[in-house]
Structure 1
């Protein structure tokens, strides 16, 4: 199997695992940078640690390395357009990327949190591990909380955005 084929096959196999979708942001000198991710997970309750994986040469990783802070907004099922926007490399950079998106500042870091998401984690970097063509960024969630209670999450599965129905109350 050729290396290129192996990469395609690996991506296809990884795509069979449903993930949540979030937007990670950072701010440095009052200039925000953000991008859509589906590689986000909690790591520890004590201390409150989370991790994400960012491509090794992306603007966001450069800014996270320099600022030492980031925020994660967990997207709601009705935010597919927002997910696509922050995944598009052609979007404007800086504050212009957030035009028309309701945001608030993370209480601890000042990073932008998308107000219409389902939850947020406002983080200080604890470690960055360079692995392969990505970096694993581990952060302590200094503040966190829910945003739009009752909204279902946006999911990513087999290369497509998906949602799940809310549980039926009992």
Structure 2
């Protein structure tokens, strides 16, 4: 409807029987039409190509690169299928392919622990919606196992500082402490 309304307003001077119709004698009307046309073009381009816009065909057109599937267990490969089939790549990229709305997942396990990845997938946060109701437990397990293999350039896996502290404290306590 807005497009039809704008088109009607643009055509109105040409269809009416009164007033000046020549473009050179109506500079204000030409300026208004030009501003509207350029604005619509710019906003359409921005809405289609800005980083915050999901790429809605990413999951169908760009398979997960083979390098991310090598040396993976069957469960981890199943997680790659979940990532593809649940359209995670509309917002996230892997190997430079996919959406730009969410962070790239190439090194997610170098930045987040397994528990943090599980929480992010199930509860969402920031721009990410919660997928707790969209994934069954086996899909969640497979997806998280795959994501925990993505550490980028051989980064060490992220560690939970509280667990690390608990383990080191546990080993330092004498056995006679009640």
**TMscore range, shorter length:** under 0.3
TM-score (normalizing by structure 2):
0.24
TM-score (normalizing by structure 1):
0.25
Q: Which has the larger radius of gyration?
A: 2
